Amino acid sequence: MSVEETKDKLYDLLIIGGGITGAGIALDAVSRGLDTVLVEKNDFASGTSSKSTKLIHGGLRYLKQFEIALVREVGRERAIVHRLAPQLVKSEKMMLPIIKGGSFGKILTSVGLMVYDVLAGVEKADQRKMLDKEETLKKEPLLPEEIVEGGGLYAEYRTDDARLTIEVIKTSTQFGAKCINYMEVEDFIYENNSVIGTKCVDYITNEKSNIKARYIVNAAGPWVDELRQKNKSKQGKSLHLTKGVHIVVPHEKLPVSQAIYFDVPDGRMIFAIPRGRVTYIGTTDTDYHGDKNQVITENKDAEYLVDAVNNTFRTVNLKVEDVVSSWAGLRPLIYEEGKSASTLSRKDEIFESKTGLISIAGGKLTGYRKMAERVLDMVVKKYKNEYGKSFEDCSTDEISLAGGKFNGQNEVVDYTESIKKQLNKLDLDTYYAEYLVNNYGNQTNVILEKINDFDDEDPEIKLGRAELWYVVNSEMVFNSLDYFARRTGRLYFEIDTIEKLKEPILNDLKDYFNWDSAKYKYEMAALEEAIYLASEVFK
Ligand code: FAD
C-alpha cells in the first residue's frame, strides 16, 4: 500500500492505531461496507497488543470489583472469538488454588466461579469444577501440601495477542481495508472546525502525505491522549497508564502442569502459564509516567514476580537469573479520582471532540469485537444523519479470521497431527507443529511448501527462513523485530532459537529489501538491543 494510493482519496473512515482496538474497528467498518484505512506508527501490535497476559478471558478478578456488565460481555465474547479463530484462541482450564489465608476461601471460590460461569454463559460441560485437597495436589503437585485446602478449575482461553491482531488486520485487508504500518499521524487537518484528515509521515519511504476521511477514530491505546492533545480536546476524562510486566522461565524451572492463577502476599493475584518449552508469569500493575515508546522490565518487577512464585511454589526456588525473556506493556486505563492501579476499571469509553475526532480508550483484548461494534454503530448513525447513506449491521461474529477456517477445536487437532507428519518428513521436531498451527493456523501449509526452496543443512534454519518469506509477503514485515517479536513470538517464547536464526534472517531481509551494509548493521544492533532488554537489563 503506497502513500500515492491514499493521497487523493476521501475515505469513509480513518483509524489511527494498529493494535487490537484499531484492527477490530477496521474489520467491523470494512465488512459493513465503509471505505476504510488504518495507519500504525510502528508495527501492527507493537504497543500494548503484544504485551498482554495473552488470555481471552472474562476477567474473574473484575467480579471482586462488581464489574458485572464487563464480566458478562467479555465472558461471552470468549466463545465467539474462539469460534472465529479456534487455532489461535484455545480453550484451557485455569486452576485457582485455595490456600490457607488466601484471597478466596472455599465457599467464595465456589460461588464466585459459579457466578462467573453464569455471567459468561459457559456451557454445562465446561463449567467450574471444585476440587478437594487431594484432587488439587494431584492436578498440580507443585503446590505446597501444607497450605493447600482445595482448588477450583474454570474455563479460560489462551491466545497470542500479536497474532490475533495480525489476523484481524489481514482479514480486514481481505475485505478491502487499507492497513499501513510504519506510518505516523503527526497532526490533524481541519475545515470549518471539523477534523477532515491527518498529516502523516511514512517511515518506510520517508514521505509525508495527507489522508482524508469523513470520520476519524483515534484508537492509539496509551497514546490516545497525545492525539487528543494535538486535537486540543484533552478535556474531562484522561488516561491513567499502568505498567504490566511478564517474565518467562524455562518450563523446568517452574514446571506447572497447567495454567494457574494464584495469590501474591500484597493481595493481588498473578498467572503462571505453561507454553511450549517455557512458563510465563505475570503480571505486575504499577502506575507509569515514563517513556511510552520504550517500556522495560526493571529489576523490581522481576523480583516481585519471582518472589510471588517462591511464596506459593515453595520448592522451586526461582531466581531472577533464571528469567530468559520478558515483556512490559502499558494498560491504557481511564483515570478515576482516588483509585489505585489495580482497582481501576478495565471498561472502554468513547469520547467525541468538538471537531469530530472519535477516541476510544480502556477495554481489553478480549472485548475488541464489541468495542469495534460500539464505535461503528456510532459512526454509521452519524453517516446516515449527515450524508443519508446506510450501512450493514455488524456481522463480525460470523467472520472467521485469516488462518482460522476450522470447524472447531477437533479439526485444529487433526490438522496439527497432519502437520506433525509433514515435519517428520522434513526432519523437524514435531514440537513445531503446535508452534506453527498456533501462529499461522491453516496458513502453515504455505510455509511448509516453501521450506525446500532453502538449501541450509539445518532444518530449523530452513523453517525460520520459510516463515520469514511468508510473513514478508503476507503480513507486512519490514524488519527482524516484526518477525522475532510480533509474527513468531520467538523473542519471548523461543529466545534461544534466535542465536542461530539471526544471521540467516537478517541476510534474507537484506535481500528482500535491498539493504546496504549500514542498514544491515543498524538492524542487527536493534535486534541485539531488543534481546538485551527482554532478557538481561533487569538482572
Ligand atoms: P495498542 O495495542 O497499544 O495499540 C495502539 C497503537 O496505536 C500502537 O500500536 C501505537 O503504535 C499506535 N499509535 C499511537 N500513536 C499513533 C500515531 N500518532 N499514529 C499512528 N499510530 C499510532 N486484555 C485481555 O483481554 N486479556 C489479557 O490477558 C490481558 N492482559 C493484559 C496484561 C497487561 C500487562 C496489559 C498491559 C494489558 C492486558 N490486557 C489484556 C489489555 C489489552 O492488552 C489491551 O486492552 C489492548 O491490547 C489495547 O489495545 P489497543 O489497540 O487499544 O492499544
Cis peptide, bond prior to residue 53, ω within 30 of zero? no
Distance 456 CA to ligand 1 centre (A): 38
Backbone angles phi, psi at 59, to 5 degrees: 75, 65
Q: In the structure grid, which three cell numbers stand for residue 138, read together?
A: 494431584
* Helix ranges, 355-458 (H): 368-387, 409-425, 431-440, 444-450
Backbone angles phi, psi at 384, to 5 degrees: -60, -45
* Contact yes or no for 270/332 (Cβ under 8 A): no
Distance CA(106)–CA(152), nearest Å, equals 9
* Contact yes or no for 356/380 (Cβ under 8 A): no
- Atom number, ligand 1, closest to the C-alpha of residue 285: 34
Nearest residue to 461 (alpha-carbon basis) of 519, 506, 512, 430: 506
Percentage of the chain surpassing pLDDT 70? 97
β-strands 325-334, 239-250 pairing? antiparallel
- Atom number, ligand 1, closest to the C-alpha of residue 55: 28
Distance CA(378)–CA(391), nearest Å, equals 12
What integer pLDDT is reported at residue 1 of this predicted model?
46
Which protein residues are within 6 Å of ligand 1, measured from CB? Answer: 16-22, 39-42, 46-49, 51-55, 57, 184-185, 219-223, 227, 244, 283, 329-332, 363-366
What integer pLDDT is reported at residue 122 of this predicted model?
84
Residue 3 banded pLDDT, cuts 50, 70, 90: low
Distance 402 CA to ligand 1 centre (A): 21
Distance CA(436)–CA(56), nearest Å, equals 20
HSE toward the beta carbon, residue 83, CA cutoff 13 A: 10
* Contact yes or no for 216/358 (Cβ under 8 A): yes
Residue 427 banded pLDDT, cuts 50, 70, 90: very high
Neighbours of 203 (CB within 10 A): 14
Distance 330 CA to ligand 1 centre (A): 7
What integer pLDDT is reported at residue 6 of this predicted model?
61
Residue 159 banded pLDDT, cuts 50, 70, 90: very high
Amino acid at 45: A
Q: Report the mean per-residue pLDDT for the chain.
A: 93
To which H or E segment does residue 43 belong?
none
Atom 12 (ligand 1) nearest CA: 17
Coil, helix or strand at residue 295? coil
Distance CA(160)–CA(175), nearest Å, equals 23
- Return the best residue to mutate from 56, 365, 371 for the ligand 1 pocket (most ligand atoms within 8 A of CB): 365
Atom 6 (ligand 1) nearest CA: 17
What integer pLDDT is reported at residue 246 of this predicted model?
98
Distance 48 CA to ligand 1 centre (A): 3
- Return the best residue to mutate from 364, 366, 482 for the ligand 1 pocket (most ligand atoms within 8 A of CB): 364
Dihedral-angle region of residue 63 (phi above 0 means left; psi in -120 to 50 means alpha; beta otherwise): alpha
* Contact yes or no for 213/12 (Cβ under 8 A): yes
Distance 1 CA to ligand 1 centre (A): 24
For the entire predicted model, the pTM comes to 0.97
* Contact yes or no for 498/483 (Cβ under 8 A): no
Distance CA(152)–CA(105), nearest Å, equals 11
Distance 305 CA to ligand 1 centre (A): 22
Atom 52 (ligand 1) nearest CA: 221
Q: In the structure grid, which three cell numbers stand for residue 93, read together?
A: 482450564
What mean pLDDT do residues 9-32 have?
Answer: 98
Nearest residue to 378 (alpha-carbon basis) of 399, 351, 397: 351
Q: Which of 31-40, 171-180, 232-241 has the lowest mean pLDDT?
A: 232-241
Distance 180 CA to ligand 1 centre (A): 17
Distance 392 CA to ligand 1 centre (A): 28
Q: Which of 57-71, 143-157, 451-465 has the highest mean pLDDT?
A: 451-465
Q: In the structure grid, which three cell numbers stand for residue 131, read together?
A: 476440587
How do residues 39-93 score in pLDDT, each as one tens digit?
999 999 999 999 999 999 877 777 777 778 878 888 889 889 999 999 999 988 9
Nearest residue to 195 (alpha-carbon basis) of 3, 34, 359: 359
How far, CA to CA in Å, does 250 sit from each of 247, 256, 277, 492? 10, 11, 6, 11
Distance 82 CA to ligand 1 centre (A): 20
Neighbours of 3 (CB within 10 A): 18
- Return the best residue to mutate from 14, 50, 52 for the ligand 1 pocket (most ligand atoms within 8 A of CB): 52
What integer pLDDT is reported at residue 522 of this predicted model?
97
* Contact yes or no for 498/201 (Cβ under 8 A): no
pLDDT of 380 above 60: yes
Longest dimension (CA), the chain: 71
Q: Which of 5-9, 171-175, 360-364 has the lowest mean pLDDT?
A: 5-9
Amino acid at 531: I
HSE toward the beta carbon, residue 72, CA cutoff 13 A: 6
Distance 537 CA to ligand 1 centre (A): 23
Nearest residue to 166 (alpha-carbon basis) of 14, 329, 373, 22: 22
Distance CA(220)–CA(19), nearest Å, equals 8
Nearest residue to 452 (alpha-carbon basis) of 473, 416, 428: 428
Q: Give 322's contacts (C-beta < 8 A, 6+ positions apart).
A: 249, 250, 253, 306
* Positive or negative: CA dihedral 218, 222, 225, 227: negative
pLDDT of 7 above 70: no
How do residues 465-519 score in pLDDT, each as one tens digit?
999 999 999 999 999 999 999 999 999 999 999 999 999 999 999 999 999 999 9
pLDDT of 136 above 80: yes
Distance CA(38)–CA(22), nearest Å, equals 7
**Residue 411 burial (CB < 10 Å; 0-12/13-18/19+)?**
middle
- Atom number, ligand 1, closest to the C-alpha of residue 183: 20
pLDDT of 148 above 60: yes
How do residues 288-314 score in pLDDT, each as one tens digit?
999 999 999 999 999 999 999 999 999
Q: Which of 166-175, 218-227, 333-342 has the lowest mean pLDDT?
A: 333-342
pLDDT of 335 above 90: no
Q: Which of 76-85, 200-209, 279-288, 365-374 has the lowest mean pLDDT?
A: 76-85
